[in-house]
Amino acid sequence: MDEILPSSPLKELRQSCLRLPAGKATKPDGIPDEVLLRVSRIVPQVLIKTFNRCLSRSELTEQWKTARLLNL
């Protein structure tokens, strides 16, 4: 599968997740920022693969369509 995310997705993912506000309410997507931060530290490839798959198939959940998304 062609890469959709930047050529250095791990670095971009880590930087974006570090900018997530700590202790804030869960957004409409239902995924707490703390979960994204932990997953990005432990198994970042899972997030990258998920984001790439969603982007390549043009498949986004309704929550992602209404949520405020951050560039990774």
What is the tens place of the pLDDT at every residue in 32-69?
A: 888 888 988 999 888 888 888 877 887 766 666 665 66
Instruction: Assign 4 a pLDDT band (cuts: 50, 70, 90).
Output: low
Tally of domains within the chain: 1
Evaluate whether residue 1 is within a structural domain. no
Asked whether residue 28 carries a pLDDT value surpassing 70, the answer given is yes
Single out the residue of 41, 58, 46 nearest to residue 4, CA to CA.
58
Read off the amino acid at residue 4.
I
What is the pLDDT averaged over residues 9-23? 84
Torsion of CA 19, 40, 51, 24, to 10 degrees: -40
Evaluate whether residue 3 is within a structural domain. no
Residue pair 5/65 in contact (Cβ under 8 Å)? The answer is no
Range of the domain at 45: 9-19+28-67
Tell me what pLDDT residue 63 has: 63
Q: State the Cα–Cα distance between residues 7 and 3, nearest whole angstrom.
A: 8
Evaluate whether residue 14 is within a structural domain. yes
Q: What is the pTM of this model?
A: 0.60
Evaluate whether residue 34 is within a structural domain. yes
